[in-house]
Structure 1
Amino acid sequence: MGEHVGEHVGRAPLRQILALAVPALGVLAAEPLYLLVNTAVVGHLGAVPLAGLSAGGIVLAQIASQMTFLSFGTTARAARLHGAGRRADAVAEGVQATWLAAVAGLVITVAGQLLAAPVAGLLTGDGRVAGAAVSWLRIALLGAPLILVTMAGNGWMRGVQDMRRPLRYVLAGNVISTALCPALVYGLGWGIDGSAVANVAGQLISASLFVRALRAEGVPLAPVPAAMRAQLGLARDLVLLGLAFQACWVSATAVAAHTSAAAAGAHQVVFQLWMFLAFVLDALAIAAQALVGAALGANDAERARRLAWQVTGCGLVFGSLLGVVFAALAGSLPHVFTTDATVLAEMPGAWWFFVVLQPIGGVVFTLDGVLLGAGDAAYLRTATASGAVLGFLPVVWASLRFGWGLVGIWSGLSAFLLIRMVTVLARLRSGRWAVLGSVR
């Protein structure tokens, strides 16, 4: 069986990357696309609710980002086992990740209810915005265990190269959320709280489908402490990696919120578009992660290296195309999200950075997938922390001190991405990431 999988991986051409990336794109795009719809719905309530959504949303996003090992770490381990012909063991990684998700999600929900108010106040510096953020966040946090279970489900399914079922499951939840959001916000008059309720409803549907799929695999469902400890070993590096990202994103949101409600609203719109396109490009990274992990699990280092360079080229091309498209939409797309003149006036300070950075993001995000597929999280952690400490954070906080506004915030993001691009390309060229075996 291991030889059969190895031969299949060895034959994988560029079209196989795209065959895996297209359904992965649907999964990745579903949540940020819902958030864009959410932003548009809440944005028409005014600058204060939109700024509250920005603050509350960034906190919830950071919680999920700190738990990325449930998806990316599980994919890396499951892909190697799948490449070695050990499907049942690969699925078992998903069982243990789901247990970790459920426990961590409950802890986060309880802690979040207690900390929502002080965190929102720290981020916003405006009583009205903080009130809106707390109201949204306390409801949205009820979905934390569901978000994490869905992440674990995506992780093991990607590892065994099953990309179609996750697409169906995530779309089912997000379609419900998208339909409910305007009905609750406007129809029932729940305002910003309605968007949070719609979010939790969709997460419940998706998480339930992933749990049902795991039970249907016929593998033991009992928790195995030793297996969970092994997953937490990789989790350490991924959590630190996530902390570097979140220090940047939270700092950017806080600086925008302390600048003005209009700046915070404009940053919310452009940042959600940025995250949406990052997830679009991450579809290539997920395909690379699954295929590179399987190639290394099948002891085919040459195939893994070839895939890595192929996906890097794809990321550059797709990122460039996205930059062109959103440059053309600069005059019209912002008006879809808000009619507030003050928010629209702030938008150009971030928009053109967002456009120019797309090709760089295409290279960086796809190479993240390559290195995560190889289990090279320790190097990626250090590279990301270097970009945050040397590039993003000094510029962002200087922006607050000297009043540079959104131009300063997005200049920091540019420095961050350039540092990361140099470091991950250097790692790719070195070849030291290509460690063989079913488990790294």
Structure 2
Amino acid sequence: MSTPSLDRRILALALPALGALIAEPLFVLVDSALVGHLGVAELAGLTLASTLLVTAVGLFVFLAYTTTASVGRLIGAGHPDRALRAGVDGIWLALGVGALVAAVGIAVAPWAIGLLGGPDLSPEVAAHAVTYLRTSLPGMPGMLAVLAATGVLRGLLDTRTPLVVAGIGAVVNAGLNALFIYGFGWGIGGSGAGTALVQLGMGAWLVAVVVRGTRATLGPGFSLRPSLDGVGGGLRDGFPLFLRTLTLRVAILLTVTVAATLGEIPLAAHQVVNSLWGFAAFALDALAIAAQALVGRALGAADEGEARSVLRRTLTWGAGAGLVIGAVLALLAHPLASLFTPDDVARSAAATGLYVIAVAMPLAGVVFVLDGVLIGAGDGTFLAWAGVASLVAYLPFLWIVWSHAPRGPGQEAAAVAWLWLAFAVAFMLARGIATYLRSRGSRWLVLGVR
């Protein structure tokens, strides 16, 4: 395939995927804006509850990754029946996991909030957090079904449908939450209930799209009942990616823990930098999603040359996108920091951190794309071990920051710079070295052809 043609396919997948990735965080932003007008205690409670919810959803993102890769490979191999069977089983797995997480979460909500908030958590904030957690958790099966169904559609090279569903869901979420919170007077519980209903609706919509497409392709006689082997296989294939995601989450939590030891202002500045780092990562994740789908399709067709071509072009796009995003962050560092805090010292410290991640963005683009390529090839076991190795390699750098980073008045910017040099450069470089060396070999190509 010619380079311009491949570039068009990458962008045709990445741009709608980017829209869908950005639409989902709008749920949290809308909830924060609406709940914030109820009071400080309610907003603090939402912060604790949403942290737990986002962590849970993040840990099960493998439901999208594994279905994207497996469906893409099987379609490429000329087995649409097996591809759609894998997709249906992936959705059943998502519904089961979602129901289990919701049930356990509702039961242990007070304990989980108390553990996260610590001994100084006020009873009022804790009560609001538990209320939001318990009213929003019933939407977890829908949210995980969204991940699995989106993975199926991405494997079929359809990233537009998830974009439409995510966009409409974000709009409905805003209206429904406003009605429940203020119209019905349900308070923070109305926000959780509204979000849960929207998530269930989005899940039902995307599942219906997959079911309709499955029956149109394979006929109305195709069984939609779960296959025990298929569901078990999805869980088995997804477990390595669960571990890989867990190592990343541990690295993020440890970074926050070290940031808290640097002082109040560095911690606040870290939150600003971390928010913008996460937002910028959506664009790079969109390219990783395109790489997953295209590599899976190529290796399913046993076309190793095409898979290599996808690797080279998506790496180019990842580095280029990182360079552009980094340039924007560097140019707008101080204005962006000013949007988050009026404090001059915190603003300066945050801007320093933004300069650091601006330099690291091309590296991040390469790392994210390499992750996507190897996920598309079904190389989850390697990614799990690489995640563990990267976390172990990161710990000495975190220790250096914790023990030697400058502290005290006038040192806030330097402290933030040390912290983000450790995470955005050292940790990302460790991940990048491992995945790059893997991509230089041929083992991942063999794994993808099956």
Could you say which TM-score interval applies, normalised by the shorter chain?
0.7 to 0.9
Alignment counterpart, residue 423 of structure 2, candidates 413, 420, 431: 413
2:144 corresponds to 1:148: yes
Q: Structure 1-normalised TM-score?
A: 0.85
Corresponding residue number in structure 2 for 1:237:
240
- Tell me by how many angstroms 1:267 deviates: 4.3
Among candidates 117, 121, 126, match of residue 127 of structure 1 = 121
CA deviation string 1:72-103 (max 9, x = no partner)? 01111100111012223212212111111111
Q: Among 272, 275, 286, which residue is 2:289 paired with?
A: 286
* C-alpha deviation, 1:284, in angstroms: 0.9
Q: Percent identity?
A: 38
Q: Is the 8 Å Cα contact of residues 181 and 194 (structure 1) preserved in structure 2?
A: yes
Query: C-alpha separation between the residues in 2 aligned to 1:346 and 1:49?
Result: 29
Change (3 A) 1:151 1:84: same
Aligned twin of 2:446: 435
Q: Deviations over 1:135-185 (max 9, x none)?
A: 433333222111100000011111111121111112221222244556766
Paired residue type of 1:74: T
Does residue 168 in structure 1 map to residue 168 in structure 2?
Answer: no
Task: Kindly indicate whether the alpha-carbon contact (under 8 Å) linking 2:337 and 2:350 is maintained by their aligned counterparts in 1.
Answer: yes
Where do 1:377-416 residues align within 5 Å?
377-391=380-394, 395=398, 399=402, 406-407=416-417, 409-414=419-424, 415-416=426-427
Residue aligning to 2:21: 28
Give unmatched runs, 5+ long, in structure 1: 1-7
- 1:312-358 superposed Cα distances (whole Å, 9 cap, x missing partner): 11001001111121223323334545668897576446433333332
Q: In 2, are the aligned partners of 1:42 and 1:49 still within 8 Å (CA)?
A: yes
Alpha-carbon distance between aligned partners in 2 of 1:30 and 1:396, rounded to the nearest angstrom: 36
Distance 1:196 1:295 in 2: 42
Residue 82 (structure 1) aligned with residue 75 (structure 2): yes
* CA gap 1:119/1:313 in 2 versus in 1, 3 angstroms: same
| Counterpart residue number, 2:254 | 251
Task: Extract unaligned runs of 5+ from structure 2.
Answer: 216-221, 408-414
Shift of 1:131: 5.5
SS at match of 1:127: coil
The Cα offsets for residues 277-308 of structure 1, whole Å up to 9 and x where unpaired, read as: 21221111111111111111111101101110
Instruction: Give the aligned partner of residue 227 of structure 2.
Output: 224
**CA separation of 1:44 and 1:278: change in aligned 2, threshold 3 A:** farther
Could you tell me which amino acid in structure 2 is paired with residue 211 of structure 1? Answer: V
Retained in 2: the 8 A contact 1:395–1:411? no
Asked if 1:426 corresponds to 2:437, the answer is yes
Q: Which amino acid aligns with 1:144?
A: M
CA-to-aligned-CA distance 1:88-136 (integer Å, 9 cap, x gap): 3212212111111111111111211233333333334341465554443
Q: 1:353 to 1:313 in 2, by over 3 A?
A: same
User: Which residue, 185, 197, 201 being the options, matches 1:201?
Assistant: 197
Q: Describe the shift of the 1:336–1:163 C-alpha distance in structure 2 as closer, same or farther (beyond 3 A).
A: same
* Residues 359 and 68 (structure 1), Cα distance of their counterparts in 2 relative to 1, 3 Å cut: same
Query: Once structures 1 and 2 are overlaid, which stretch shifts more, 235-244 or 386-395?
Result: 386-395
Question: Pairwise mapping of residues 250-329 of structure 1 onto structure 2 (< 5 A)?
Answer: 250-254=253-257, 266-329=269-332
Corresponding residue pairs, total: 432
Task: Please name the residue that 2:49 is paired with.
Answer: 56
Q: What's the CA shift string for 1:207-235, capped at 9, x where partnerless?
A: 12112112212142101001112112211
TM-aligned CA distance change 1:81 to 1:10, over 3 Å: farther
1:438 to partner: Cα distance: 5.5
C-alpha contact 1:396 1:409 (8 A) present in aligned 2: no
Residue type at the aligned position of 1:386? A
- In the TM superposition, what is the alpha-carbon distance from 1:373 to its structure 2 partner? 0.4
Higher relative contact order (CA 8 A, sep 6+): 1
- Residue 89 (structure 2) aligned to one of 87, 92, 96: 96
Distance 1:200 1:160 in 2: 28
Q: Which amino acid aligns with 1:70?
A: L
Residue deviations 1:369-427 (CA, integer Å, cap 9, x gap) = 10000011111111122222221586179639978675555344222111111111111
Instruction: Tell me the TM-score normalized by structure 2.
Output: 0.84
